Structure 1
Amino acid sequence: MKVFHGRADGGHSEQRGETFTGTVYADPVMPATSGVTINTVFFAPQGRTYWHTHELGQVLQVTAGKGWICVEGEAPQEIRQGDIVFIGPNERHWHGASDASYMVHIATSLGKATWQEEVAEADYPKGLTLR
């Protein structure tokens, strides 16, 4: 058993860039162990991931704000504080904040992530009223 106190690496929040649109920061909760990575991720309004997959899936626990989760071929679905989302193995998806709210989630990623292209502006919902 290992106990982690505070940030796993003791460092500062990392601004994400190459595979994210907008302002996104991540804090490692636990270092990558046996193919499992856990991060707390802050998305400023309109911040979001690129399209990607996870070899064994991903679990998102939204802890603050409102945003979107979108699986390829489906319409984006609203997510907000208290929601938990499971994305299946190798399911192509993106997630991030709405255009009018920040969003924070804890992301538990299982297996290798494969990053793909940026989400097209036409595919990102803007101006929609979230509950």
Structure 2
Amino acid sequence: MSETIFTKIINREIPADIVYEDDVCLAFNDINPQAPVHFLVIPKKAIATINDITEDDRQVVGHLTLVAAKVAREMGIDQEGFRTVMNCNEFGGQSVYHIHLHVLGGKLLGWPPYTDKPKNLE
């Protein structure tokens, strides 16, 4: 796997607004937030896509979810609610080929992300 922007963040080659770190993963605020609270949780192990996750990675991937909940709690969005999203490949919306869990929360959040609310959801 080639080096990605996330590898550079992990290696401290480029800055990020880090909100959590341990020996397995790193969480940081998204530079282009899509919700009032939007941070990413990434493994320090380079795994390109969801399709590349192996049985050996189950602890790492599970840990990402636990960290997402912990940071969401620390940011005060756990009770109102938040969304976790992991995109896979181009048509799935993945732009950085190093798996990452988006955590989005806040009162302005809607799903699906419509500009105008569809009539069937009114």
- For the aligned pair, the TM-score class normalised by the smaller chain equals under 0.3
User: Which structure has the larger Rg over C-alpha atoms?
Assistant: 2
Higher strand share: 1
